[in-house]
Amino acid sequence: MLGTMQDRPLTLTHFFERAERSFARKELVSGSATGVERTTYGEWAERTRRLGGVLDDLDISADGRVATFAWNTARHLELYFAAPCSGRVLHTLNIRLFPEQLTYIVNHAQDEVIFVDRSLLGLLAPLLPTFETVRHIVVMEDGGDVPDPTGIELLDHEELLAGASPVEFHVEDERRAASMCYTSGTTGNPKGVVYTHRSTYLHTLGVLGADAIGVGERDTVMPVVPMFHANAWGLAHAGVASGASLVLPGPRMTPPALAELIESERVTIAAGVPTIWMGVLPELEGRDTSALRMIPCGGSAVPKALSEAYREQLGLPILQAWGMTETSPVASVAITRSWMDDLDESVLADVRATQGPALLGVELRIAHQETGEELPWDGASRGELQAAGPWITASYHDDPRSPESFTEDGWLRTGDVAVITPDGYVQIVDRTKDVVKSGGEWISSVELENEIMAHPDVAEAAVIGVPHPKWSERPLACVVVREGASLAKDDVLGFLDGRVASWWLPDDVVFIDEVPKTSVGKFSKKDLRDRFGGHQLPTV
Ligand code: AMP
């Protein structure tokens, strides 16, 4: 027997039309090179419909890829909806990718047009001759002063909009591609993930859930996480869907500028990667942060010390989330549950240092690395984390590397190593590639880093495995000392003594000026391995 319910497609046009009708007066604030610009969902919706007309005028194919090379702004948000709601596919380009990777993904995705912020034109211009399918470059003025490159025809975003007619949006099939993102992987070419209307719709509902990020109409949400990285964690869509005001920082990404926006715009939810929050904390000192109620953070492990520093200074610990480009991205959030209310703050800090339970709609499991056998949720068994659900990708776009990333029963192999507690709390131990394999046992580089970063004089720390004649690999700690402080190797090792198992103690400590970062602000272990892979460990 089938049910009697209407089978309406789950498409982004519903989010768009709802915001257009019901939230027209709500505000969208965008940072620019010169200050902030203000608009409303009403004006945004009107421009978004005309942008649909621009895509028609530019003769973009019915499912043509519409690329963006842009900061987080209301203009970028117009493209977030104009492309998919007119049947096209939004392709957000990561402005920090290496040039050859950008060339690869633009050609692989077969982008037809690129919308670029004026201030970013200098990064894109040298690559334009390498793009094989791009027919138009549209420049969005953001207060930047990068001059036009010579010999390339550029179109002006505002002129195109002024000359275009608004269009009706209609998407019949919820499985139609809505947007795509490429992974920021450090080895090989990036892999493309293509989101459908349905997956984005359901992921947004997931993010809106009270036990996830819980975004509501009363919120003012500031996604610091770029709109070119994994859909800004769904927060741009969540804003439109819920009618929450959005504060989009544009190029105003320095810690003082972000702290200023949090205070002046009375931001309630501000989301970004750990390195962002490390920089912003001192800038929040003395500011009015009373509106702030949640700081979602993920992309890499959130050091417990960082979360605790926020709790001490702002009374608000960081909310850790876990996900991947492949998982739309939000798959788990480290909420604390009702029965934990009476626990000590120190225990709660440990709970918040996990990646939390899976969101409603997502299934997670761990599997033995070699046999693939499913492992128990006992808080001790370590295995590869695997994910399934309606907003988890089932393959990579046109990529022969797809099969190795999925199990026979269709689950995504995340490449993360994790344990899961009996209550379903996931603790990421490491990336499979980053665990230090010492004498057949694993040392978690992430846990070691966390412990080292709890030292008050440590600004940042990353741990890599370096070859060892007896143990195969041993940990090397790469430490950045906080400005004005001084540290020696023995201070670091002495601090770790008793905090980690003795056989986990790094064999050596090197002091560096900065931990190299990937295009999305994560510690780049690959760069550290290139630099220190041949490091001579002291013989004891
Ligand atoms: P990306 O596709 O660039 O978002 O990278 C996804 C990867 O980032 C995951 O597979 C994890 O290795 C890592 N990651 C994301 N969130 C967390 C987190 N909260 N803790 C630890 N690692 C994380």
Where are the strands (E) in 339-471, listed by range?
Answer: 363-367, 383-388, 412-420, 426-431, 436-438, 441-443, 458-468
Atom 15 of ligand 1, nearest CA residue: 299
CA–CA gap between residue 356 and residue 424 (Å, rounded) = 8
Atom 7 of ligand 1, nearest CA residue: 324
Q: Using CA positions, which residue lies closest to atom 22 of ligand 1?
A: 300
Q: Cα dihedral angle (114, 390, 419, 230), rounded to 10 degrees? A: 10
Helix or strand holding residue 481 (H, E): strand 472-481
* Distance from the alpha carbon of residue 40 to the mean position of ligand 1, in angstroms: 33
Q: Which of 496, 464, 463, 459 is nearest to 480 (CA)?
A: 459
**8 A C-beta contact, residue 391 and residue 203:** yes
Among 11, 92, 183, 196, the one annotated catalytic: 183
pLDDT (average), residues 61-73: 98
Cα(430) to centroid(ligand 1), Å: 10
Task: Give the per-residue SS3 of 161-207.
Answer: HHCCCCCCCCCCCCCCEEEEEECCCCCCCCCEEEEEHHHHHHHHHHH
Pocket test for ligand 1, best of 384, 416, 444 (most atoms within 8 A of CB): 416
Position 189 scores a pLDDT of 87
Mean pLDDT of the chain: 95
Please determine, for residue 246, whether its predicted confidence score (pLDDT) is greater than 90: yes
> What are the pLDDT digits (tens) for 147-196?
999 888 999 999 999 999 999 999 999 999 999 999 976 567 899 999 99
- State residue 29's pLDDT score: 98
pLDDT of residue 67: 98
- Residue 421: active-site member: no
Nearest CA to ligand 1 atom 1: 324
Please tell me the residue having the least CA distance from ligand 1 atom 5.
Answer: 324
What atom in ligand 1 is closest to the CA of residue 183?
2
| Strand locations in 59-129 (E) | 65-69, 89-92, 111-117
- Å from CA of 445 to ligand 1 middle: 14
User: Which atom of ligand 1 lies nearest, measured to the CA of 355?
Assistant: 19
Distance separating alpha carbons of residues 188 and 182, to the nearest angstrom: 12
The residues, any chain, with a CB within 8 Å of residue 220's CB and separated by 6 or more, are 244, 245, 246, 247, 265, 266, 267, 268, 269, 291
pLDDT at position 281, please? 97
Give the model's pLDDT for residue 186.
Answer: 59
Atom in ligand 1 nearest the alpha carbon of residue 520: 3
Q: How far is the CA of 28 from the centre of ligand 1 (A)?
A: 29
Any long-range contacts for 126-131 (C-beta under 8 Å, 24+ apart)? 126/99, 127/99, 127/102, 127/103, 128/152, 130/103, 130/106, 131/103, 131/106, 131/107
- All CATH 3.40.50.12780 domain ranges of the chain, comma separated, are 26-253
Name the strand (E) or helix (H) holding 37: strand 36-40
pLDDT tens-digit map of 190-220: 999 999 999 999 999 999 999 999 999 999 9
pLDDT the model gives residue 153: 92
At residue 432, does pLDDT exceed 90? no
- pLDDT (tens digit per residue) in 82-109: 999 999 999 999 998 889 999 999 999 9
Ligand 1 neighbours (beta carbon < 6 A): 183-184, 230, 298-302, 320-325, 329, 355, 414-416, 428, 431, 520
Between the CA of 34 and the centroid of ligand 1 the distance, in Å, is 33
If you take atom 6 of ligand 1, which residue's CA is the nearest one?
324
Residue nearest to atom 3 of ligand 1 (CA): 184
Q: Which of 428, 432, 434, 445 to mutate to test the pocket of ligand 1 (most atoms within 8 A of CB)?
A: 428
pTM (2 d.p.): 0.91
Could you tell which of 225, 231, 306, 322 is best to mutate to test the pocket of ligand 1, judged by most ligand atoms within 8 Å of the CB? 322
Contact residues for 95 (Cβ-Cβ < 8 A; gap 6+) = 69, 70, 71, 120, 123, 226, 228
Q: Which pairing describes strands 27-31 and 245-248: parallel, antiparallel, or unpaired?
A: parallel
In the prediction, which pLDDT does 187 show?
A: 66
Domain 26-253 indexed as CATH 3.40.50.12780? yes
Q: What is the pLDDT of residues 509-532, one digit of tens each?
A: 999 999 998 888 888 998 999 999
Find the 428 Cα to ligand 1 centroid distance in Å: 9
Q: Whose CA is closest to 171, among 50, 11, 280?
A: 11
Q: What's the CA-to-centroid distance between 299 and ligand 1, angstroms?
A: 4
Active-site residue identified among 263, 326, 384, 473: 326
What is the predicted pLDDT for the residue at 98? 86
Active site residue 442: yes
Task: Give dist(CA 74, CA 67) in Å, integer.
Answer: 16
pLDDT at position 9: 98
- Average pLDDT (248-267) is 97
CA 371 to chain centre: 31
Structure token pair of residue 523 = 């510690």
Q: How confident is the model at residue 266 (pLDDT cuts 50, 70, 90)?
A: very high
User: Mean of the pLDDT values across residues 384-399?
Assistant: 97
- Residue to mutate (ligand 1; options 300, 366, 520, 526; most atoms within 8 A of CB): 300
pLDDT at 151: 87
CATH of domain 436-532: 3.30.300.30
**Least confident interval from 182-186, 319-323, 341-345, 403-407:** 182-186
Close Cβ partners of 475 (under 8 Å, ≥ 6 residues apart): 436, 438, 443, 445, 448, 463, 464, 465, 466, 504, 505, 506, 507
pLDDT, one tens digit per residue, over 102-143 is 999 999 999 999 999 999 999 999 999 999 999 999 999 998
Please compute Rg for the chain using Cα positions: 23
Q: Which of 456, 528, 202, 418 is nearest to 305 (CA)?
A: 456
Q: Which of 45, 84, 44, 46 is nearest to 66 (CA)?
A: 84
- The C-alpha atoms of residue 49 and residue 167 are separated, in whole angstroms, by 5
Structure token pair of residue 287: 């500011």
In 191-273, where does DSSP find H-type helix?
Answer: 197-208, 235-242, 255-264
Predicted local distance difference test score (pLDDT) of residue 448: 93
- 244 touches 24 (CB < 8 A): no
Residue appearing with tokens 């992430």:
446
The pLDDT of residue 141: 95
| Digit-coded pLDDT (tens) for 289-336 | 999 999 999 999 999 999 999 999 999 999 999 999 999 999 999 999
Model confidence at 540: pLDDT above 70: no
Which part of the chain is CATH 3.30.300.30?
436-532
Distance 69 CA to ligand 1 centre (A): 23
**CA-CA distance, 47 to 54, in Å (whole number)?**
10
Quote the tokens at residue 473: 């690999």
58's tokens: 């530019």
Cα–Cα distance, 176 to 201 (Å, whole number)? 12
Strands 177-182 and 89-92: parallel
| Active-site hit among 442, 449, 471, 522 | 442
DSSP 130: G
Q: How far apart are the first and last CA of the chain?
A: 73
Q: What is the CA(183)–ligand 1 centre distance, in A? A: 11
pLDDT at 273: 94
